[in-house]
Amino acid sequence: MESIKDKVAIIGMGCTKFGERWDAGLDDLAIEAAYEAYEDAGIGPNDIQACWYGSVTQPMVGIGCTHLAGPLKLHGIPMTRVENWCTTGHEALRNACFGVACGMYDMVLALGVEKLKDTGFPGLGAGRGMSPVLEARRTAPGSFGMIATRYFYAYGLSPQEGKRVIGKIAVKNHHNGTLNPKAQFGITIADWMKKRVASAEKKGKPIPTWKDEWDFLHDDRANPMIAWPLRLFDCSPITDGAAAVLLVAEEIAHNFTGSPIHIIGSGQASDYALHDRKDLTSIGAARLAGQSAYEMAGVKPDQIQLAEVHDCFTIAEIVAIEDLGFFKPGEGHRMAEEGVTALNGSRPINSSGGLKSKGHPVGASGVGQSVEIWKQMRGEAGERQVPGDLSLALTHNVGATGQTCVVHIYERRA
């Protein structure tokens, strides 16, 4: 397989605020992200030679890809919509990389945009309307609940121990999200508790008596069960948002920025439906996509210093960090408990807040992960900046219940 290593560089990024964007339509979000990327790179829409963009629900609201050519001022160039479940944004980025790596284009735009709150999209757990019903009428929370249950059993975790571990993921990612101005939930679990107490006092209702975050997270009224053992705070939200990446041929990258970020590895793989897999504690597509990306980049998992992984549910982060080879099977939960994956840990995971806190605008989620890597590797992440010299990083984006996965590896060069 041909490699994209030493062929593709990022020169600019843009990202909207993720969340319930009642103030903006699909066009507005796309413009906001794309023009932030243009400004970041010091270029204009006339410099773009091709565009790949991802959106999952766009056809459902009667809009085709040619509609965005107008708002983005991209008339007259190739523009292709990409869709592959939750990996949609990363698939757009991957295709854009190929467009540059093969020598056909010198500068392209990869864009992910999603408007979910206004479209009637009820979420992956509802199993009705636009929400995809997965595998024998099993919803996404139901499927990942099965993965969590099996993981607990396989690695000797009692239900209480297992639920505490995934709760730790929620607490960590909400903490990281408070440091990210683009995150949907910029609030810690502890502060969420305080808001609930204040609201009860104001309304004259009984005051909750939670001792700590764990009391709160195991309160059936405050944090209801969605699909055992996953509760509300184990699930990513419904989100509007957009993110954009500008890619150029590597040899011209320094014409636009003194600190480009190079994409040196890319892998994509597919897997069986959940009910046909031999092992529910791992996602085969993620393992294979990761292996392909590592091989292309010529690096090993222990060299990756920072990663954004697909935490659509808290258990998914634990499975991901094992599938990617950061930790051995069955060790991920212990690493999370010990703080190894925290912002100040030796292997920070989801410094942006992840899908759990930053938000999950499905078609834009993967590109949004790349934006976080861009900021971290350039030392522009503000309060959530991971310390040290970050030269290698990774993004991991899973679709459906693991039927597809895309992994990218990024390098910053001195």
Q: What percent of the residues of the chain are helix, what percent strand, and what percent coil, each to the nearest 5?
A: 40, 20, 40
- Of the candidates 35, 100, 82, the one whose C-alpha atom is nearest the C-alpha of residue 251 is 100
Q: Which amino acid is at 282?
A: S
- Over the range 172-181, which residues count as b (16 or more CB within 10 Å of their CB) and which as e? bbbbbbbbbe
CA dihedral of residues 288, 125, 313, 279 (deg, nearest 10): -40
Residues 6+ apart with CB under 8 A from 157: 151, 165, 333
Q: Is the distance from CB of 230 to CB of 166 less than 8 angstroms?
A: yes
Strand pairing partners for 15? 243
Q: Is the distance from CB of 178 to CB of 186 less than 8 angstroms?
A: yes
Q: Is the distance from CB of 316 to CB of 282 less than 8 angstroms?
A: no
Q: Is the distance from CB of 409 to CB of 97 less than 8 angstroms?
A: no
Residues marked active site are found at: 86, 360
Q: CA-based angle 97:99:100, to the nearest 5? A: 70
SS3 assignment for 256-279? CCCCCEEEEEEEEEECCCHHHCCC
Distance (Å, whole) CA 38 – CA 34: 6
Query: Which long-range contacts does 211-219 make (Cβ < 8 Å, 24+ apart)?
Result: 213/167, 213/171, 213/189, 214/164, 214/167, 216/189, 216/192, 217/163, 217/167, 217/170, 217/171, 217/189, 218/163, 218/167
Residue 344 CB-density burial (10 A; 0-12 exposed, 13-18 middle, 19+ buried): exposed
Distance (Å, whole) CA 289 – CA 265: 10
φ and ψ at residue 107, rounded to 5 degrees: -145, 125
Q: What is the largest CA-CA distance in the chain?
A: 67
